[in-house]
Structure 1
Amino acid sequence: MNKLIERSVSEPIRAELTWEETWNGIDQGFIHCWEIGRRRAVAEAQLAQACLEGQLPPLGWKGGVVKMLKKPEKVGAFRYLAEWQGLRGEDLRIDLSQELSLTCTATGMTVTFTSDLAKLAGPGGSDEGEDANG
């Protein structure tokens, strides 16, 4: 799989892809997650605005935050980042070879986005209030 996943916001949202094409294609579903964000931006203007303001709200993947936790950092999935970029109306650009940290402007929580499944599922990938904190 490519380490850099990119797609321009000027590209149309794809239609009628099979499950296989969506999740097992060369981009492994990242473009689909980003397209979900683009669709949600049209339907949920307030959510899109929150993302534009640097908030990291709960979305369909691990990475959103609702409140500050005891430990001020957590890990998130790159698929979250793809959806978030779509909500912001940005081009999709994710480098899977490098982790990326963002700090939520609403909560002060820092989320490090990764493709490391052990970090996402392991002890460091789970924290108190995770169900409510995305």
Structure 2
Amino acid sequence: MRISLSITQLRRTGMSKIELWHGPDKGLIACWERGKDLSTEAPELAELTRNGELVPLPWKGGVENAIKSKLKCGTFRYLAMWQGLCGTDLMIDTDVELTLRCTKFGVQVVFTDNFSKHVDS
């Protein structure tokens, strides 16, 4: 499923938790909106993401330190929140894995819905 929204899109209001987290987008838009909010609350964190760091966030996908395997898995919810924190449009296709490399630690993170393919990460 492709999900895309412009960074200029206003935050949705009046939605229940069920609508936010269990709708067709599976909470990705809510994660992105929270990332947008976080970018104004923590501008220094937003700057790190704009420089390519995959900073620790509530969802799996952030890199806290270097690891031997140099590869780990991340969730699309992390990716959505990270995109909002970066100040970029929400652009996720959940049918396609996406790999990003953390500029701070050199670790590659594969964002996927299929963690069984990457059991060791």
Q: TM-score, normalised by structure 1?
A: 0.86
Where do 1:1-134 residues align within 5 Å? 3-119=1-117, 123-125=119-121
Q: CA deviation at 1:8?
A: 1.2
Deviation at 1:117, TM superposition (A): 4.4
Structure 2: where are the runs of 5+ without partners? none
Alignment-mate amino acid for residue 13 of structure 2 = A
Report how far residue 124 of structure 1 moved.
2.3
Q: Percent identity?
A: 42
Counterparts of 2:13 and 2:38 in 1: how far apart (Å)? 16
Task: Tell me how far 1:80 sits from its aligned partner.
Answer: 0.3
After the TM superposition, which segments of 4 or more aligned residues of structure 1 sit over 2 Å from their partners? 122-125
Larger deviation: 12-21 or 92-101?
12-21
Equivalent residues of 2:5, 2:90 under 8 A apart:
yes
**1:45-91 CA distance string (max 9 Å, x none):** 01000000000010010000011111111010011000000001111
CA-based RMSD of the aligned residues comes to 1.2
Judge which range, 9-18 or 51-60, deviates more: 9-18
Q: Structure 1 CA distance, aligned partners of 2:81 and 2:13? A: 17
TM-score under structure 2 normalisation?
A: 0.94
Give the number of equivalent residue pairs: 121
1:86-129 Cα offsets, whole Å, 9 max, x none, are 0011110001111000000000000010011435xx7324xxxx
